[in-house]
Each structure stands twice: as C-alpha cells, then as structure tokens.
C-alpha cells in the first residue's frame, strides 16, 4: 500500500504537536518534594554558599578525624612500638651501609626519624597517607553519587569567571585534592586551550593531593589552615595574571545538573576501592624508591654537595636550612614523601610552614609531570614550568621577608 507524504505548514505542525500533547500528557499541580527543595536551596547563592561551607567543613572534620584516628590510634603503635624495634633487632649488619639504607638510623625511636626503605618507606604511605586517601575518596564518592558536585560548580561559577575559568573548573580542582593525575585528566572537557593550560598550571602548582594533606595533618595540624590560605591566594592571584597575559578565549560551558539521588553504597565502595588501590600500586613503589635514593645520596655525599650548592637559595632567599635539600630531591618522586622527610629536620615553626608551602608549589610529582607532557603542547608545558619556578621564588622570598619582618623567621 502506498503512503502519500503530505507537506504541512508550520502552523499545521504546531497544531499537530498540540493535539498529540493533549492526548498523551496529563497536567497536574506541581508539588515540590523535599529533594526538589534541597536541589533549589543548594544552587542559590544566599543559601547555597552557607550549605557549601558546611559541606566542606564536615568533609574536613571527617577527613582529619578519620585519618588521625587510624594513624595515631593504630598505625603509629604498630610501626613504632612493634615493627621498628623488631626490624632493628633482626636485620643483619647493624652499622653497615646496607643496614642504613633499609632500616635507617639504628638509634631512631620512630619510623619518621629512621629514613630507611623498610621503615619510613613503608610507614609513610601505609601509616600516614593511606587513612587520608581512604577518607578523601569515601567522601568524594558520596558527594559524586548524590549529585552535589555539579551544584557546587554552579555556585563558584561567578568567582572563577574572575580568573578566566568557569564553574566546571571546581571539579578538576576537587579531584586534584585526591590526586593530581585524575585532576589534570578532568581538564579535557574545558572549551579552549587557554582554559586547559590555565587549569593544568594551577593544579600542578597550588593544589596538594590527599597524600600531601595527610602528611601535613600529621606533621603540622596547627598550621594546615594557613597553608591552604596561602595556596588559595596564589591560586587566584596567578590565575588572574595568566588570564590577562595568556592569549586565547574563555568561552562558557553548559553543564547538566542532575537531580539529587540516594547514594548507591556499592558504587561508592567500588569507586573508593579502585582509587585507593590505584594509589597503593603507584605510591608505595615511589616511596620505597625515594627513600632509597635519599639514603644513597647521604651515603655517597651527594646530599651534602647539593646542600652546599643550593645553600644561597635555600638560606638566603627562602630562609630555610640546607638540610631541606633532601625533601626537595624526594619531591621529584613524591611530594608527600618530601613533606614526611621534613619531620626529621630541626626547623622553627616558620621554617616548617615555609618549607611545606614551597614543597606544595614545588615541581609536581613524577606521574603528574608525565601527564602534563602528554596533555600540553610544548610551549604550554614550558610556560607551566616557568610559572612554577617564578612562583616558588616569589612565594619563598615573600614568606622569608614576612618572617623576618615579624621576627619569627
């Protein structure tokens, strides 16, 4: 049977649409549910900003409480009270270079002080960093599953526009607080190369990962707020400058804001498990390698040579002792390991604060460094490295001057 196609006018098409809609759609009174009300409240600045502050505060309280409970309550006792004395007594060749590399200082009373591959190299990633990683990814997966993160992006859109970005930039920023690698990868949806360059640069310089944050929580819990404030100031200041000097456009982006939904605990568990196992497979070998390199450099005298070579910058510009060269070397492999190594150096409170800030904005870890090479063009990569070097010297110099001015350096 042949069908004859009839050409309809625009008015006829709309009439047809109206007839179909009346026959298929039932119109009723809209009654907002609690979920709808919450979705509306959390995107309006007047109510959404206090809600966001409460979420971030709760996030931090859970993070620090969870990490501190397991680190101080379990892992410190396991490693320092039981494991360290045991391995110091059973490992052969006390006083030899092999003992120094794998066990560390035989007189050390804590794994923080020993610097051995099998002591500090295992305690730092498992005893200090792992609880922080688990806490971060647990809360992040929960917020991701219920649908809150897109609403947070809507809230911060106006602020990030001031530096040439938009609300979506908060997603790679939060991801980088877990690990810089997925954070850099999450920059791909940004519309222009300018925005991707700016975001990757800001993440690589100013956003510490959860492993670093866990180290800071264990090392300087009373100063961690000031560290984050300093990094936030740098994030927006450098972002503002880059937006002015780097050519290119900063177009808008459309984001889907899904409705709130009940979290699926199986999904949360899978996400947390996958991300945590990825951290362990990547971080533990680098921690062991970092402790090995630092120990060998101490034994061969290379660390003393580097300390003397970098002394003018370390003591003159940054106001920190030559001993901080060891964390700087380890920072090429793992920044969290570098911060952990600061625990074995005698530093004033201001020197510790300055050192932690410098290590946070210091060269990104090896994995992030490699991903930057892949994601950026060579001119963008060189510009990122230039921004990093300039930022380190500017921040280090300013913090030293502030410390001298206040008489606390």
Q: pLDDT tens for residues 192-250?
A: 899 999 999 999 889 998 888 888 887 888 899 999 999 999 999 999 999 999 988 87
> Cβ(123)–Cβ(112) under 8 Å?
yes
Query: Does residue 156 lie in a domain region?
Result: yes
pLDDT at 73 over 70: yes
**Do the domain assignments include residue 101?**
yes
pLDDT, averaged across the chain? 85
The model's confidence at residue 28, banded by pLDDT at 50, 70 and 90, is low
Does residue 19 form part of some domain? no
Q: What's the pLDDT score for residue 30?
A: 64
Its pTM stands at 0.78
Angle at 330 between CA 75 and CA 357, to 5 degrees: 85
In a domain, 78, yes or no: yes
Q: How many residues in total does the chain contain?
A: 409
Report yes or no on 97 lying in a domain. Answer: yes
Check: CB of residue 361 under 8 Å from CB of residue 206: yes
Is the pLDDT at 345 greater than 90? The verdict is no
Task: Answer left, alpha or beta for residue 134, where phi above 0 means left and psi between -120 and 50 means alpha.
Answer: alpha
Give the residue with greater pLDDT, 344 vs 15: 15
- 167, 153 contact by CB (below 8 A): yes
Q: What is the pLDDT of residues 96-141, one digit of tens each?
A: 999 999 998 888 888 877 878 899 888 888 888 888 888 888 998 9
Q: Does residue 374 surpass a pLDDT of 80?
A: yes
pLDDT tens-digit profile of 35-50? Answer: 878 888 888 888 988 9
d(CA 110, CA 203): 33
Domain-located, residue 197: yes
Residue 57 domain boundaries: 39-406
**Range with the largest mean pLDDT of 245-249, 250-254, 266-270, 299-303:** 266-270
Q: Per the domain annotation, does 396 fall within a domain?
A: yes
Q: What is the pLDDT of residue 29?
A: 67
* Number of domains present in the structure of the chain: 1
The pLDDT of 72-92, averaged and rounded, is: 91
Would 170 be classed as within a structural domain? yes
Provide DSSP, 335-384: HHHHHHHGGGS---HHHHHHHHHHHHHSSPPHHHHHHHHHHS-HHHHHHH
Question: What's the CA gap between 236 and 113, in Å, rounded?
Answer: 36
Binning pLDDT at 50, 70 and 90, where does residue 1 land? very low
Q: Residue 6: its pLDDT value, please? A: 59
Q: Is the pLDDT of residue 389 over 50?
A: yes
């Amino acid at each position: 049977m042949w069908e004859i196609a009839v050409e309809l006018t625009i008015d006829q098409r709309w009439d047809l649409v109206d007839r179909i809609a009346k026959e298929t759609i039932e119109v009723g009174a809209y009654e907002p549910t609690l979920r709808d009300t919450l979705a509306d409240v959390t995107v309006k600045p007047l109510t959404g900003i206090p809600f966001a502050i409460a979420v971030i505060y709760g996030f931090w309280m859970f993070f620090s409480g969870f990490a501190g409970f397991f680190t101080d309550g379990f892992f410190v006792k396991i490693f320092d009270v039981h494991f360290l004395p045991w391995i110091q007594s059973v490992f052969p060749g006390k006083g030899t270079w092999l003992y120094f590399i794998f066990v560390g200082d035989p007189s050390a009373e804590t794994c923080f002080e020993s610097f051995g591959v099998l002591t500090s190299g295992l305690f730092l990633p498992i005893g200090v960093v792992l609880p922080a990683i688990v806490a971060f990814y647990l809360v992040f997966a929960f917020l991701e599953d219920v649908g809150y993160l897109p609403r947070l992006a809507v809230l911060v859109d106006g602020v990030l526009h001031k530096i040439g970005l938009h609300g979506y930039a908060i997603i790679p920023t939060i991801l980088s607080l877990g690990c810089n690698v997925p954070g850099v990868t999450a920059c791909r949806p940004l519309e222009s190369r300018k925005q991707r360059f700016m975001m990757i640069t800001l993440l690589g310089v100013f956003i510490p990962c959860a492993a670093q944050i866990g180290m800071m929580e264990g090392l300087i819990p009373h100063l961690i707020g000031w560290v984050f404030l300093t990094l936030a100031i740098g994030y927006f200041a450098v972002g503002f400058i880059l937006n002015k000097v780097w050519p290119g456009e900063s177009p808008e982006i459309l984001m889907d804001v899904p409705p709130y939904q009940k979290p699926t605990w199986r999904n949360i568990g899978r996400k947390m498990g996958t991300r945590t196992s990825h951290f362990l497979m990547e971080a533990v070998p680098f921690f062991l390698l970092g402790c090995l390199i630092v120990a060998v450099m101490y034994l061969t005298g290379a660390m003393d040579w580097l300390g003397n070579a970098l002394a003018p910058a370390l003591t003159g510009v940054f106001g920190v002792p030559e001993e901080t060269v060891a964390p700087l070397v380890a920072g090429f492999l793992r920044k969290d390991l570098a911060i952990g190594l600061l625990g074995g150096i005698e530093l004033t409170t201001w020197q510790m604060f300055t050192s932690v800030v410098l290590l946070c904005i210091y060269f990104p870890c090896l994995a992030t460094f490699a991903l930057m090479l892949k994601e950026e063009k060579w001119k963008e990569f060189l510009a990122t490295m230039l921004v990093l070097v300039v930022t380190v010297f500017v921040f280090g110099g300013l913090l030293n001057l502030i410390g001298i001015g206040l008489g606390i350096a």
